[in-house]
């Protein structure tokens, strides 16, 4: 794959300048040297690289074939080769007059260019906290979505796969959970601002930058509070001949971990105990029965093909790509299929004018199964077969429970398909004015259609699993968003000061239309249009004094249509300073640090993500009454969902102090950041008492949350002869705490699983902490029943909960904090080595400090009718048999499934996220067949996980901050082994 040059185009403007320099200096040369510059990655020629004699001012530029000639002062001079995006290379001539030089892509440690909001900056000039992931790391994770690949890659960026479903995206939390509201970051794809990046083909991505602190995000104002993720796709590379690249992989996925449930004879034994009957006279005779997980899960293939062309044609720089991705799901009948195409191009119309575009089209189809089939398989008794002796699906309601036969659901409910066609593009024009000024107008467009179609035939398996009439439901969503931004940039170099001033304006409109029909009949309230608009002014100054003192000041003013007049405009300032200590005169002699930079930033960033009309009470119609002898409908309408006219955006005050350093000629680089993010006026729709009578919970500015933490990053990269190796790691520590709740509220209780709320948000604790009783043990005998406080109906074998408040009676006042679902520590390590054409790499990722709740067991009351093995193995069967797992008894069920720490488990895990081994054929073998690169590889994803949690996997993200860490049986994760090749022509 080509990974070169996204950045280069942005700095291409410096080439004419260097050219002038070269011609001015040519006169004093004496010895004529010629040669060719090649790229180390694929052996292609490098056009436009600069060649200079070390210590002199003469230079040359490579031509279209990578050739150059230069006159040097001495036959033993040293030549310095430079090309943007590549590491500088020095070659001593030692008398040669004809040389071939290979330059390598910049390892990214010293001269890295970083994409920031509305521009780029040298990493060394940056005052903000910005993390970067390059194409190489993104391609390593076989996934339809870019975000999955960010897991464990950037300190402070916590990525959780939404589920294991094919095509699923991920939840991203940057520097903790900042709000009780939507905590998702803002995405900027090639200049287009959006909330969903499912259309981006990961293999089109050049780099992903994560803006973490206020200095970097305040320029995005009302949308930056939860961080900003900038995705830059691959651009046409200036000065390179056309390159065709092909890459493909094919692999197999398997469920990473199955649940441990009972087999038929164990189930029968348990059922007899549970009912206190001898329903199954000979449990052992039932054997193993049906493993319903085997019925619904399978091994599934995954495949991907990418074809790209990159080059320059008559000054038009282009990058074209097409991709086909096909992932079958490990759950039967689920699959994701996507075709994407992308055109990125830029054309210099005139010296002062260039136009460019970046357009992507994506057409994706997700097939799925309707209804909670994984939950059905979990609850289904193993004594049932898929089909009965007559060949019909087995009616599973034998026990009176409304269970669904998963095999029948697979058969009847699997005609569910969601097609998403989406076009996203930006079009820009850059005009250079008076040398120092650049005006850019950027038009962005995002248009997508979602067609969800579900057909269910008429069928009847049981009273509760049936459908009397065939039904086709269609949800049609059309989204259209446009963005228009105009910025003027002034770049000026003064003596001892460089200045970069940016001012501009931005407008964006978003419209979402939904239409819902069943059998082609529009449903009640089945048509809905939602819109929002934002109008903004942008200002930023970057100044560098004496090459070492950095200052960034920014301000964004955002007007958001979400809020009522008077509450509409928000102002989001930031100030940051940096000090490149290594550039100080007193540091000049030292050899320890290549870079040493201290930086600090402060700013206010906002979040307006809430419903589109939180301040407007919208009248609900179709609330019909029936009157008259003919029983006709009389139209009814009123306000049933209350609104809050006073609502305003939430604001996050962020402080960041960072230290960056590089040592050993850039081989080691490291970064440490301390931050504090204080979010107030949090927008949330909190549970309100039922007596209010509102059907929806109105959005209020409801709370304050503080996240403090540390981000550590360390990388080592070195080439020794034929061996290049690297290793690195990240570590993030986060402390999440609710500081205050408004409206005189002392707590927010949420997530009623049938026996009251299970999470509680209170000042002094993390958001959405688990809340319930603490199990003190099991009542072993009747004496104990009279010794300890109890609810009343307990019997021996039931849980003995702690009387937390010590008042001698058990009541809801004895519930307490049972742990937090938010990890306090996140870490990742990576290592790689390249030698003799082989490359080997591995990533691990881990979390700790978080708890998860086995909500599936609590809400289905131990999964009746089947049981989890831990319940079977550990259950109390008489005095002294167990002090941790209760008896199997229907009678004790209500009591024993109260929310307690019995259902809380450790959510820590350590996962081998990816391991890759590849081999690239030597270049001399390939040149004969017109290829510059051919690499074969094998990779494994999620091959090994160390977890304590008993469920599929301990990752349970949610957009609802009170519902994080609840295992409600999501589509499980898979492990993948695949084989692939990369070829470049």
Residues 740-799 that bind other proteins (CB under 8 A): 743-747, 749, 752, 754-757, 791, 793
Residues forming beta bridges with residue 976, ordered by sequence position? 253, 941
Per CB under 8 A, the list member of 441, 655, 708, 825 interacting with other proteins is 441
Q: How many residues bind other proteins (CB under 8 A)?
A: 100
Q: Contact, 778 vs 877, CB < 8 A?
A: no
Q: CB-wise, 88 or 894, nearer to other proteins?
A: 894
Handedness of CA 766, 767, 772, 775 (dihedral sign): negative
Q: Which of residues 667-726 bind other proteins (CB under 8 A)?
A: 687-695, 698, 700
Q: Which is nearer to other proteins, 284 or 433 (CB)?
A: 433
Mask: binding to other proteins, 877-916, rule CB under 8 A, as x and -? ----------------xx----------------------
- CA pair distance 346, 740, nearest whole angstrom: 51
Integer Cα distance of 23 and 81 in angstroms: 17
- Environment class of residue 612 by beta-carbon count within 10 Å: exposed (0-12), middle (13-18) or buried (19+)? middle
d(CA 847, CA 957): 13
Among 429, 498, 724, 882, binds other proteins (CB under 8 A): 429
Q: How far is the CB of 517 from other proteins (least distance, A)?
A: 9
| Of the residues 397, 477, 724, 960, which one makes contact with other proteins according to CB under 8 A | 397
Q: Which of these, 230, 245, 139, 169, lies nearest to 426 by C-alpha position?
A: 230
Among 29, 514, 533, 600, binds other proteins (CB under 8 A): 533
Find the binder of other proteins among 389, 390, 463, 786 (CB under 8 A). Answer: 463
Distance, in Å, from the CA atom of 705 to the CA atom of 683, rounded to the nearest integer, reads 11
| Minimum CB distance to other proteins smaller for 489 or for 732 | 489
**Residue 805 found at the interface with other proteins (CB under 8 A):** no
CB-nearer residue toward other proteins: 431 or 714: 431
Contacts (CB under 8 A) with other proteins, residues 556-575? 559-561, 565, 568
Four-residue CA torsion sign, 718, 720, 722, 727: negative
Q: Do you find a cis peptide bond into 865, omega within 30 degrees of 0?
A: yes
What residues numbered 321-380 form the site for other proteins, per CB under 8 A? 350, 352-353
Within 818-877, which residues bind other proteins (CB under 8 A)?
none
| Separation of first and last alpha carbons in the chain | 10
DSSP 285: G
Contact 422, 365 (CB under 8 A): no
Q: Interface with other proteins includes 458 (CB under 8 A)?
A: no
C-alpha distances out from residue 245 to 61, 310, 976, Å = 26, 8, 24
- Least separation, in Å, of the C-beta of 595 and other proteins? 40
Residue 756 CB, shortest distance to other proteins, in Å, is: 4
**Min separation Cβ 617 and other proteins, Å:** 3
Assess 25 for contact with other proteins (CB under 8 A).
no
Name 341's Cβ contacts closer than 8 Å, sequence gap at least 6.
320, 321, 322, 323, 360, 361, 362
Q: Which is nearer to other proteins, 765 or 824 (CB)?
A: 765
Q: Could you say whether residue 925 binds other proteins (CB under 8 A)?
A: no
CB of 812 to other proteins, least distance (A): 6
Region 590-629 residues binding other proteins, contact defined as CB under 8 A: 612-613, 616-629
DSSP bridge partners of 347:
355
Q: Find the part of the chain contacting other proteins (CB under 8 A) among 79-87, 164-172, 524-532, 940-948.
A: 524-532
Which of 95, 400, 589, 806 forms a contact with other proteins (CB under 8 A)?
400
477: contact with other proteins by CB under 8 A: no
Among 100, 739, 809, 835, binds other proteins (CB under 8 A): 809
| E strand intervals along 742-790 | 748-752, 757-761, 769-772, 775-778
Strand partners, 890: none
Is 333 within 8 Å of 407 (Cβ atoms)?
no
Q: How far is the CB of 648 from other proteins (least distance, A)?
A: 13
639 binds other proteins (CB under 8 A): yes
Query: Distance between CA atoms of 606 and 555, rounded to whole angstroms?
Result: 12
Query: What is the length of the chain?
Result: 985
Q: Which stretch binds other proteins (CB under 8 A): 100-108, 304-312, 532-540, 841-849?
A: 532-540
Shortest Cβ 486–other proteins spacing (Å): 5
Give the whole-angstrom CA distance, residue 270 versus residue 874.
12
Distance (Å, whole) CA 946 – CA 908: 9
Closest to other proteins by CB, 86 vs 563, is: 563
């Amino acid at each position: 794959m080509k990974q070169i040059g996204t950045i280069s185009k942005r700095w291409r403007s410096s080439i004419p300048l260097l050219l002038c320099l070269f011609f001015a200096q040519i006169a004093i040369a004496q010895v004529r040297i010629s040669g060719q510059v090649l790229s180390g990655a694929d052996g292609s020629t490098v056009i436009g690289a600069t060649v200079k004699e070390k210590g002199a001012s003469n230079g040359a530029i490579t031509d279209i074939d990578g050739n150059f000639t230069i006159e040097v002062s001495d036959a033993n001079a040293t030549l310095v080769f430079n090309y943007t995006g590549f590491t500088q290379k020095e070659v001593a001539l030692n008398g040669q007059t004809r040389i071939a030089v290979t330059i390598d892509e910049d390892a990214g440690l010293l001269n890295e260019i970083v994409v920031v909001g509305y521009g780029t900056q040298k990493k060394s000039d940056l005052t903000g906290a910005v993390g970067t992931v390059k194409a190489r790391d993104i391609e390593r994770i076989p996934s339809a979505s870019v975000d999955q690949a960010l897991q464990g890659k950037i300190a402070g960026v916590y990525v959780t796969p939404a589920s294991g479903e094919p095509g699923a995206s991920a939840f991203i939390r940057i520097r903790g959970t900042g709000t009780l509201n939507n905590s998702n970051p803002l995405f900027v794809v090639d200049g287009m601002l959006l909330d969903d990046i499912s259309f981006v083909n990961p293999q089109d991505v050049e780099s992903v930058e994560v803006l973490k602190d206020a200095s970097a995000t305040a320029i995005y104002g009302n949308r930056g509070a939860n961080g900003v993720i900038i995705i830059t796709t691959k651009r046409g590379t200036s000065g390179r001949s056309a390159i065709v690249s092909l890459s493909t992989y094919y692999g197999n996925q398997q469920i990473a971990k199955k649940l441990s449930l009972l087999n038929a004879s164990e189930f029968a034994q348990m059922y007899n105990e549970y009912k206190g009957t001898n329903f199954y006279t000979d449990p052992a005779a039932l054997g193993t029965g049906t493993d319903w997980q085997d019925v619904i899960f399978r091994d599934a293939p995954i495949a991907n093909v990418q074809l790209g062309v990159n080059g320059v044609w008559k000054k038009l720089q282009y990058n074209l790509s097409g991709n086909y991705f096909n992932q079958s799901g490990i759950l039967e009948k689920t699959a994701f299929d996507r075709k994407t195409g992308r055109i990125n191009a830029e054309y210099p119309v005139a010296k002062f004018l260039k136009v460019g575009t970046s357009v992507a089209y994506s057409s994706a189809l997700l097939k799925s199964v309707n209804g909670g089939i994984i939950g059905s398989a979990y609850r289904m008794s193993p004594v049932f077969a898929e089909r009965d002796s007559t060949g019909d699906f087995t009616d599973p309601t034998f026990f009176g429970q409304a269970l669904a036969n998963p095999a029948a659901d697979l058969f009847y409910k699997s005609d569910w398909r969601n097609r998403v066609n989406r076009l996203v593009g930006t079009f820009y024009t850059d005009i250079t004015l008076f040398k120092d000024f650049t005006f850019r107008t950027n038009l962005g467009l995002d248009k997508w259609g979602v067609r969800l179609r579900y057909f269910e035939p008429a069928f009847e398996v049981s009273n509760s699993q049936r459908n009397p009439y065939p039904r086709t439901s269609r949800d049609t969503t059309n989204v259209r968003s446009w963005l228009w931004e105009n910025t003027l940039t002034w770049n000026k170099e003064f003596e001892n000061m460089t200045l970069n001033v940016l001012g501009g304006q931005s407008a964006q409109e978003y419209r979402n239309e939904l239409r819902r029909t069943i059998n082609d009949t529009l449903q009640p309230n089945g048509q809905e249009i939602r819109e929002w608009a934002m109008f903004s002014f942008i200002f930023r100054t970057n100044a560098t004094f004496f090459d070492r003192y950095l200052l960034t000041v920014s301000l964004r003013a955002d007007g958001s249509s979400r809020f009522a007049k008077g509450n509409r405009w928000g102002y989001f300032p930031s100030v940051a300073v940096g000090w490149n200590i290594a550039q100080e005169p007193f540091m000049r002699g030292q050899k320890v640090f290549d870079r040493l930079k201290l930086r600090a930033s402060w700013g206010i960033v906002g979040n307006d993500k809430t419903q589109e009309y939180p301040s407007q009470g919208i009248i609900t119609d179709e609330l019909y009454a029936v009157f008259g002898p003919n029983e006709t409908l009389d139209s009814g309408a009123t306000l049933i969902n209350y609104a809050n006219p006073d609502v305003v955006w939430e604001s996050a005050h962020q402080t960041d102090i960072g230290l960056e350093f590089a040592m050993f000629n850039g081989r080691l680089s490291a970064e440490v950041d301390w931050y504090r993010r204080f979010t107030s006026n949090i927008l949330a729709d909190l549970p309100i008492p039922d007596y209010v009578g509102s059907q929806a919970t109105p959005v209020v500015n409801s709370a304050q949350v503080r996240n403090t933490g540390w981000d550590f990053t360390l990388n080592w990269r070195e080439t020794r002869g034929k061996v290049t190796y690297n290793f690195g790691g990240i570590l993030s520590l986060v402390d999440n705490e609710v500081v205050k709740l408004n409206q005189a509220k002392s707590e927010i209780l949420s997530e009623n699983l049938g026996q009251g709320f299970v999470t509680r948000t209170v000042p002094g604790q993390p958001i959405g902490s688990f809340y319930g009783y603490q199990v003190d043990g099991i009542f072993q005998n009747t004496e104990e029943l009279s010794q300890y406080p109890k609810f009343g109906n307990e019997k021996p074998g039931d849980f003995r909960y702690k009387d937390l408040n010590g008042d001698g009676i058990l009541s809801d006042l004895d519930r307490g904090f049972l742990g937090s679902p938010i990890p306090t520590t996140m870490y990742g390590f990576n290592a790689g080595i390249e030698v003799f054409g082989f490359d080997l790499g591995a990533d691990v990722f881990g979390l700790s400090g978080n708890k998860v709740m086995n909500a599936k067991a609590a809400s289905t009351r131990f999964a009746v009718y089947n049981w989890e093995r831990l319940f079977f193995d550990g259950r109390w069967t008489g005095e002294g048999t167990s002090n941790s797992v209760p008896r199997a008894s229907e009678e004790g069920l209500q009591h024993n499934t109260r929310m307690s720490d019995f259902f809380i488990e450790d959510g820590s895990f350590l996962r081998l996220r990816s391991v890759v081994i590849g081999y690239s054929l030597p270049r001399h073998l390939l040149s004969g067949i017109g290829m510059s690169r051919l690499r074969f590889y094998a990779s494994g994803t999620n091959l090994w996980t160390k977890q304590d949690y008993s469920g599929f996997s301990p990752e349970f993200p949610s957009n609802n901050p009170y519902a994080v860490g609840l295992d409600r049986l999501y589509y499980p994760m898979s492990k993948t082994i695949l084989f692939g090749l990369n070829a470049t022509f």
